[in-house]
Amino acid sequence: MKTLLATTLALSLPALAAAHDYTLGDLEIIHPTIFETAATAKAGGGYVTIANTGESADALVGVSAAFPMVELHESFEQDGVMRMQHIERLDIGAGEIVELAPGGYHVMFMGLTEPFVAGDEVPVTLTFENAGEIEVNFTVVEREGGMDHGKMDHGNMDHSTKE
Ligand SMILES: [Cu+2]
Protein backbone atom coordinates (compact mmCIF):
# COMPACT_ATOMS: atom_id res chain seq x y z
CA MET A 1 0.00 0.00 0.00
CA LYS A 2 1.38 3.36 -0.94
CA THR A 3 0.09 6.57 0.53
CA LEU A 4 1.17 10.16 0.32
CA LEU A 5 3.32 11.36 3.16
CA ALA A 6 1.52 14.66 3.53
CA THR A 7 -1.86 13.10 4.14
CA THR A 8 -0.93 10.29 6.48
CA LEU A 9 2.27 11.20 8.27
CA ALA A 10 0.53 13.37 10.84
CA LEU A 11 -1.91 10.56 11.59
CA SER A 12 0.44 7.63 11.70
CA LEU A 13 3.58 8.88 13.35
CA PRO A 14 2.26 9.77 16.82
CA ALA A 15 0.85 6.27 17.20
CA LEU A 16 4.20 4.81 16.28
CA ALA A 17 6.29 7.12 18.42
CA ALA A 18 6.85 4.45 21.05
CA ALA A 19 7.93 1.88 18.49
CA HIS A 20 11.50 1.37 17.43
CA ASP A 21 12.54 3.31 14.38
CA TYR A 22 15.66 3.67 12.28
CA THR A 23 16.83 6.44 10.01
CA LEU A 24 18.93 5.92 6.89
CA GLY A 25 19.45 9.11 4.92
CA ASP A 26 15.97 10.34 4.01
CA LEU A 27 14.33 7.05 4.92
CA GLU A 28 12.50 6.36 8.16
CA ILE A 29 12.27 2.64 8.88
CA ILE A 30 9.45 2.24 11.32
CA HIS A 31 8.61 -0.63 13.63
CA PRO A 32 10.07 -3.73 11.93
CA THR A 33 7.91 -6.60 13.16
CA ILE A 34 7.60 -10.35 12.74
CA PHE A 35 4.56 -12.25 14.01
CA GLU A 36 5.36 -15.29 16.07
CA THR A 37 4.95 -18.57 14.22
CA ALA A 38 3.62 -22.02 14.97
CA ALA A 39 6.15 -24.57 16.23
CA THR A 40 6.23 -26.40 12.90
CA ALA A 41 6.29 -23.31 10.68
CA LYS A 42 8.87 -23.33 7.93
CA ALA A 43 8.32 -19.69 6.99
CA GLY A 44 7.41 -16.39 8.59
CA GLY A 45 6.60 -12.89 7.41
CA GLY A 46 8.32 -9.62 8.36
CA TYR A 47 6.54 -6.27 8.24
CA VAL A 48 7.79 -2.70 8.40
CA THR A 49 6.77 0.80 7.35
CA ILE A 50 9.22 2.84 5.28
CA ALA A 51 8.76 6.59 4.83
CA ASN A 52 10.76 8.51 2.26
CA THR A 53 10.98 12.09 3.54
CA GLY A 54 13.40 13.12 0.78
CA GLU A 55 13.00 14.68 -2.62
CA SER A 56 14.14 11.73 -4.69
CA ALA A 57 12.77 8.24 -5.16
CA ASP A 58 14.42 5.20 -3.67
CA ALA A 59 13.64 1.49 -3.67
CA LEU A 60 14.08 -1.48 -1.37
CA VAL A 61 16.10 -3.87 -3.53
CA GLY A 62 17.40 -6.46 -1.11
CA VAL A 63 16.69 -8.24 2.17
CA SER A 64 18.99 -10.65 3.94
CA ALA A 65 19.11 -12.45 7.27
CA ALA A 66 20.50 -15.65 8.77
CA PHE A 67 17.96 -18.01 7.18
CA PRO A 68 18.27 -20.31 4.16
CA MET A 69 16.14 -18.02 1.99
CA VAL A 70 14.93 -14.47 2.52
CA GLU A 71 12.90 -12.68 -0.15
CA LEU A 72 10.68 -9.70 -0.73
CA HIS A 73 7.16 -10.96 -1.43
CA GLU A 74 3.87 -9.49 -2.45
CA SER A 75 0.63 -11.16 -1.43
CA PHE A 76 -2.43 -10.74 -3.57
CA GLU A 77 -5.82 -12.31 -4.05
CA GLN A 78 -6.59 -14.02 -7.30
CA ASP A 79 -9.88 -15.79 -7.91
CA GLY A 80 -10.53 -15.81 -4.17
CA VAL A 81 -7.22 -17.46 -3.34
CA MET A 82 -4.38 -15.72 -1.54
CA ARG A 83 -1.15 -16.05 -3.47
CA MET A 84 2.27 -14.51 -3.15
CA GLN A 85 5.06 -13.75 -5.51
CA HIS A 86 8.69 -12.80 -5.22
CA ILE A 87 9.39 -9.21 -6.18
CA GLU A 88 12.82 -7.81 -7.02
CA ARG A 89 12.24 -4.28 -5.82
CA LEU A 90 9.78 -2.14 -3.93
CA ASP A 91 9.72 1.48 -5.06
CA ILE A 92 9.43 4.19 -2.44
CA GLY A 93 8.75 7.48 -4.20
CA ALA A 94 9.71 10.87 -2.83
CA GLY A 95 7.31 11.75 -0.03
CA GLU A 96 5.72 8.31 0.01
CA ILE A 97 5.11 5.86 2.82
CA VAL A 98 5.21 2.21 1.87
CA GLU A 99 3.82 -0.32 4.28
CA LEU A 100 4.84 -3.93 4.37
CA ALA A 101 1.77 -5.35 6.08
CA PRO A 102 -0.20 -8.61 6.30
CA GLY A 103 -1.96 -9.29 3.01
CA GLY A 104 0.49 -7.15 1.03
CA TYR A 105 4.20 -6.70 0.80
CA HIS A 106 6.36 -8.61 3.28
CA VAL A 107 9.80 -9.98 3.93
CA MET A 108 9.54 -13.76 3.72
CA PHE A 109 11.88 -15.76 5.92
CA MET A 110 12.03 -19.35 4.66
CA GLY A 111 13.68 -22.53 5.79
CA LEU A 112 13.11 -21.90 9.49
CA THR A 113 14.45 -24.59 11.77
CA GLU A 114 12.82 -23.11 14.87
CA PRO A 115 9.79 -20.87 15.28
CA PHE A 116 9.79 -17.14 15.84
CA VAL A 117 8.91 -16.53 19.51
CA ALA A 118 7.50 -13.26 20.84
CA GLY A 119 10.30 -11.15 22.27
CA ASP A 120 12.96 -12.38 19.87
CA GLU A 121 15.00 -9.80 17.98
CA VAL A 122 15.90 -10.80 14.42
CA PRO A 123 18.67 -8.83 12.67
CA VAL A 124 17.83 -8.15 9.03
CA THR A 125 19.85 -6.19 6.49
CA LEU A 126 17.76 -3.98 4.20
CA THR A 127 19.39 -2.73 1.01
CA PHE A 128 18.10 0.37 -0.74
CA GLU A 129 19.01 1.42 -4.25
CA ASN A 130 20.20 4.90 -3.25
CA ALA A 131 20.38 5.09 0.54
CA GLY A 132 22.51 1.94 0.81
CA GLU A 133 22.09 -0.73 3.44
CA ILE A 134 21.20 -0.85 7.10
CA GLU A 135 20.83 -3.62 9.63
CA VAL A 136 17.65 -3.37 11.68
CA ASN A 137 16.16 -5.61 14.34
CA PHE A 138 12.75 -7.05 13.58
CA THR A 139 10.92 -7.61 16.87
CA VAL A 140 8.83 -10.75 17.14
CA VAL A 141 5.39 -10.01 18.56
CA GLU A 142 2.28 -12.03 19.37
CA ARG A 143 -0.14 -12.45 16.55
CA GLU A 144 -3.19 -10.19 16.52
CA GLY A 145 -5.07 -11.73 13.60
CA GLY A 146 -4.48 -11.05 9.95
CA MET A 147 -2.89 -13.38 7.48
CA ASP A 148 -1.03 -16.17 9.18
CA HIS A 149 2.09 -17.08 7.28
CA GLY A 150 3.14 -19.36 10.10
CA LYS A 151 0.29 -21.80 9.66
CA MET A 152 0.49 -21.81 5.89
CA ASP A 153 2.43 -24.42 4.07
CA HIS A 154 4.60 -22.12 2.05
CA GLY A 155 5.48 -24.92 -0.35
CA ASN A 156 1.92 -24.96 -1.61
CA MET A 157 1.78 -21.25 -2.28
CA ASP A 158 1.84 -20.25 -5.90
CA HIS A 159 5.04 -18.41 -6.62
CA SER A 160 4.55 -16.65 -9.88
CA THR A 161 8.21 -15.72 -10.04
CA LYS A 162 10.80 -18.45 -9.88
CA GLU A 163 14.38 -17.82 -8.96
CU1 LIG B 1 5.65 -14.71 1.33
What's residue 43's pLDDT?
96
State yes or no: pLDDT of 141 exceeds 80. Answer: yes
State yes or no: pLDDT of 128 exceeds 50. Answer: yes
Contacts of 118 by beta carbon, 8 Å cutoff, 6+ apart: 36, 140, 141, 142
Q: What is the pLDDT of residues 39-94, one digit of tens each?
A: 999 999 999 999 999 999 999 999 999 999 999 999 999 999 999 999 999 999 99
Number of domains in the chain: 1
Question: What is the distance in A from the centroid of ligand 1 to the CA of 10?
Answer: 30
Establish if 150 belongs to a structural domain. Answer: no
CATH of the domain at 64: 2.60.40.1890
Contacts of 47 by beta carbon, 8 Å cutoff, 6+ apart: 32, 33, 34, 35, 99, 100, 101, 102, 106, 107
What's residue 10's pLDDT?
47
Which residues on adjacent β-strands are paired with residue 33?
47, 139
Establish if 55 belongs to a structural domain. Answer: yes
What's residue 20's pLDDT?
84
- Nearest in space to 1 (alpha carbons), one of 58, 36, 48: 48
Q: Which domain holds residue 29?
A: 2-143
Establish if 22 belongs to a structural domain. Answer: yes
Question: What is the distance in A from the centroid of ligand 1 to the CA of 85?
Answer: 7
Establish if 162 belongs to a structural domain. Answer: no
Question: What is the distance in A from the centroid of ligand 1 to the CA of 46?
Answer: 9
Contact 39, 115 (CB under 8 A): yes
Judged by DSSP in three states, 37 sits in: coil
Q: Nearest-5° angle of CA 130, CA 26, CA 24?
A: 75
Question: What is the distance in A from the centroid of ligand 1 to the CA of 108?
Answer: 5
31: left (phi over 0), alpha (psi -120 to 50) or beta: left
- Residue type present at position 70: V
Establish if 67 belongs to a structural domain. Answer: yes
